[in-house]
Chains A and B, each alone.
Chain A
Amino acid sequence: MLNIKRKLKFAVLGGLLTLFAMLPLLGISRFFLYLFSQTFIYIILALSLHIVAGLSGQFSLGHAAFLGLGAYTSPILTMRFGFPFWGGICCSMVFCGFLGLFMGVSCLKVRGVYLALVTLGFGMILERLCMNLTGLTGGGLGIIDIPHLAFGQLKFSSEASIFFLFVVIVYLVIYLSFNIRNSRMGRAFVTIRENEVAAATMGVNISKYKVIAFLISGVFGGLAGGLFAHLKGYIDPSVFSIETSLLIFCMVIIGGMGSLPGAVIGAVLLSFLPEIVRPLAEYRMLIYGILLIILIIFMPKGIISLIRKIPRFKIFWFLLGSAEKNVDKHNTVAP
């Protein structure tokens, strides 16, 4: 029963995403397509943090390190060493996986504030390295003219094709994260988050699963980073900045801690918020900050808490019923 329900859920999600993927056919502007693609990258990053922070309860502020390392690895390998694109992206994921492993091992002993600062430190150290290893990374100027993705004859150079590719990747990442949550591993993560001592008595290997959470997170972060570099076309050390880490963190918290749909909603909202307030020009960031504060004051448990308050059957009617209800009404009115 549960299995069928889950499959149904993914069918619905897939259907929605397919509908969403029709957007370019409606003649939506290239700027918005680009924005959507960027949002997809932030969704992947938010899910990556969701696994470490939301599921296993380790509040990392170092996700800019994953994004940055992934974003530097793929262009350097493809442009300087002639790797194919899929190889570059895979290497991004592998390198970030190793970084995650390393980060997880060094964070085993620390928790809370101390963990946040250690993870933050990884980003800062990588930023300094990127600024100074000029021969490899181009220093403060960064790398420019990064080519668009292409797999064999399949070239992703227009905004619409990138958008289609990212829809598929995001669907896969959401599917994977969901399955991780509902696997033996995901349950171990949640147990560790709720109570480490209880988890240990139940036979959960705490150290192992904490490190695995960072490892998976790193792989997702590396994927996002690789795609980010090829989408933007240039990359400089500012991707490592603390602002990036804090932004990803805000996405997960504002969406709703520990909830997968929450992370996705948070990512979408915070990627679009700057564009929504853009007409305010000079006061843009000011209003953005004020909105952030207002959001958290009125919804301390995230947007997902608001959605959960709506009774289930109403959502059901909203999704399926409105058209049928109208039909019913006509039937009763008709003689």
Chain B
Amino acid sequence: MFLTLQVVANGLIVGCVYALIALGFMLIYNVIDMLNFSQGDMVMVGAFIGFTLSSILPFPLYLSWPIGICAGGLLGAFIARLIIYPLRRAGALELLIIAIGLSIVLKDLSRIIWGAEPIAATSHFGSSVFNLGGLIFNNLQIGMLCITVACMVAIMVFLKTKLGVAIRATAANPDIAGLMGINTGMIIIFTFALSMALSTVAGMLISSQSYLVYTMGSHIVLKAFIGAVIGGFGSIPGAVIGGLVVGLSEGLSSYFISTEYTGAIIFAILILVLLFRPTGLMGRRGYLESL
């Protein structure tokens, strides 16, 4: 019983990271209808940026994180200006191809820059262990929980500010948002940068837990995708719940059934959820309106 609780807790903490990625995924989807298949590779690039800053360059923790996040955001803005901005009026299908191409490019660039060998994890948090009423957590898990929750709260608060309202307006209807004096092109670039910054945070968290390799993105993007879809695209609580569901079912199924079938079980859950609620658990409200 206690072990089960521990598994649930671990699953939820991993789920928090997925929720963060799903959040970035959902932001992009709402603002420009782009099914961003390169989200996982953005996480991977973020992880490598974090690795470079903390291991190769001698930056302390409190410097490497902010610098890494800013670098990720700038990279996102650059990518968006270069290839997303020209196609902002195109349909979802063209943007999907852009995402696929971007995924290939990011993957190969990382392979050329950082090499194809897997790199061992370096924890940013030390390795002490806490005992909370019998449940055991290590430093990293506590760090993951705090940072992801902080990010989600920050995004929620941010979407209430003036810039945040502009993003929501663009998501609801870009044409009318443009008529109201919102520079929708800039909003698209900004949203992409924000999403990339979130991915960088997630990447740095993942990189302190498991090894780094340039192909790791394809597994991550599927989990974020599933999380966003289970939650129903379009609401932040939805993305968080979806991410938590994915993390939890991953933890439980690998403990009770088999780690071999984890991927299949998550997809089976997804298909079942969509059979009964075709627009996800929190769907139908949409367009970032529900906060």
Contact between B268 and A121, CB atoms less than 8 A apart? yes
Segment at the interface with B among A157-165, A216-224, A293-301 = A293-301
Which of A59, A113, A116, A127 has the most CB atoms of chain B within a 10 A radius of its CB?
A: A113
Output the least CB separation between B236 and chain A (Å). Answer: 17
Query: Using a Cβ cutoff of 8 Å, how many contacts connect chains A and B?
Result: 110
Given known A-B contacts A125-B264, A293-B102, A113 and B35 have beta carbons under 8 A apart: yes
Segment at the interface with A among B2-10, B54-62, B67-75, B83-91 = B83-91
Q: What 9 A-B pairs are tightest by C-beta distance, nearest first?
A: A289-B104, A128-B264, A121-B267, A292-B101, A289-B105, A293-B101, A286-B108, A109-B278, A285-B108
Contact between B105 and A110, CB atoms less than 8 A apart? no
Output the least CB separation between A138 and chain B (Å). Answer: 15
Residues in chain B near residue A257, CB distance under 8 A:
93
Tell me, yes or no, whether B158 is within 8 Å of chain A by CB: no
Which of B112, B260, B274 has the most CB atoms of chain A within a 10 A radius of its CB?
A: B274
Q: Which A residue sits closest to B268, measured CB to CB?
A: A125
Residues in chain A near residue B260, CB distance under 8 A:
128, 131-132
Given known A-B contacts A250-B97, A300-B94, A288 and B278 have beta carbons under 8 A apart: no
Residues in chain A near residue B185, CB distance under 8 A:
none
Please list the residues of chain B having a beta carbon within 8 angstroms of any beta carbon in chain A.
29, 35, 37, 83, 86-87, 90-91, 93-94, 96-98, 100-105, 107-109, 112, 218, 222, 225-226, 229, 233, 258, 260-261, 263-264, 267-268, 270-271, 274-275, 278-280
Q: How far is the CA of A242 from the CA of B267 in the complex (A)?
A: 13
Q: How far is the CA of A118 from the CA of B277 in the complex (A)?
A: 13
Contact between A297 and B270, CB atoms less than 8 A apart? no
Output the least CB separation between A118 and chain B (Å). Answer: 5
Q: How far is the CA of A246 from the CA of B267 in the complex (A)?
A: 18
Q: How far is the CA of A318 from the CA of B229 in the complex (A)?
A: 50
Given known A-B contacts A113-B229, A113-B233, A290-B105, A125 and B274 have beta carbons under 8 A apart: no
Could you list 9 further interchain pairs (A-B, Cβ under 8 angstroms) beyond the known A117-B225, A253-B94, A289-B102?
A113-B35, A117-B226, A120-B267, A253-B96, A257-B93, A286-B104, A289-B103, A296-B87, A300-B91
Given known A-B contacts A59-B93, A113-B233, A124-B263, A296 and B101 have beta carbons under 8 A apart: yes
Residues in chain B near residue A182, CB distance under 8 A:
none
Contact between B86 and A297, CB atoms less than 8 A apart? yes
Output the least CB separation between A270 and chain B (Å). Answer: 11
Interface string of A110-144 (1 = CB under 8 A from B): 11011011101110110111011000000000000
Contact between B83 and A116, CB atoms less than 8 A apart? no
Residues in chain A near residue B107, CB distance under 8 A:
285
Q: How far is the CA of A123 from the CA of B213 in the complex (A)?
A: 24
Q: How far is the CA of A250 from the CA of B112 in the complex (A)?
A: 24
Output the least CB separation between A273 and chain B (Å). Answer: 11
Given known A-B contacts A125-B268, A128-B261, A242-B222, A292 and B93 have beta carbons under 8 A apart: no
Q: How far is the CA of A118 from the CA of B107 in the complex (A)?
A: 25
Q: How far is the CA of A110 from the CA of B37 in the complex (A)?
A: 20
Contact between B274 and A110, CB atoms less than 8 A apart? yes
Output the least CB separation between B100 and chain A (Å). Answer: 5
Contact between B94 and A296, CB atoms less than 8 A apart? yes
State which of B83, B90, B101, B278 has its C-beta within 8 Å of the C-beta of A114.
B278
Contact between A282 and B112, CB atoms less than 8 A apart? yes
Given known A-B contacts A289-B102, A297-B86, A109 and B275 have beta carbons under 8 A apart: yes
Q: Which B residue sits closest to A114, measured CB to CB?
A: B274
Tell me, yes or no, whether A260 is within 8 Å of chain B by CB: no
State which of A109, A246, A290, A296 has its C-beta within 8 Å of the C-beta of B37.
A246
